[in-house]
Amino acid sequence: AQKVTQAQTEISVVEKEDVTLDCVYETRDTTYYLFWYKQPPSGELVFLIRRNSFDEQNEISGRYSWNFQKSTSSFNFTITASQVVDSAVYFCALSERGYGQNFVFGPGTRLSVLP
């Protein structure tokens, strides 16, 4: 069965600090996809990144970076030089192979960036 764990329920940092959000997943499939979504205070869910299980290259997008390690089943998300606008709930999600397979979401990590 697939499962996503985000052990950090809430994190508070001061603006300009770096912060890493942890995501650990479980799956029996060899082909799967991992995602991060952001939910700002306004409530909508915003797609951030998708990574397939065959691509372990780390990815950087501006102040955001993602570290995918199959050996530890982790897909961690780092925000560099955090800003107040980064305050949100962040969800990690897993989708296994096969059309119709559904997404499994982690419980989310609430990030508060203080000025």
Partner 1 sequence: NAGVTQTPKFQVLKTGQSMTLQCAQDMNHEYMSWYRQDPGMGLRLIHYSVGAGITDQGEVPNGYNVSRSTTEDFPLRLLSAAPSQTSVYFCASRDRGLTGNTIYFGEGSWLTVV
Residues that bind partner 1 (CB under 8 A): 4, 9, 31-33, 35, 37, 43-45, 47, 50, 52, 91, 93, 95, 97-103, 105-108
Whichever of 24 and 80 has its CB closer to partner 1, that residue is 24
Instruction: Count Cβ atoms within 10 A of the Cβ of residue 91 and give its class: 0-12 exposed, 13-18 middle, 19 or more buried.
Output: buried
Whichever of 37 and 77 has its CB closer to partner 1, that residue is 37
4 close to 23: Cβ distance less than 8 angstroms? yes
Q: How far is the CB of 71 from partner 1 (least distance, A)?
A: 21
Contacts of 110 (CB under 8 A, 6+ apart): 9, 10, 11, 88, 89
Whichever of 99 and 115 has its CB closer to partner 1, that residue is 99
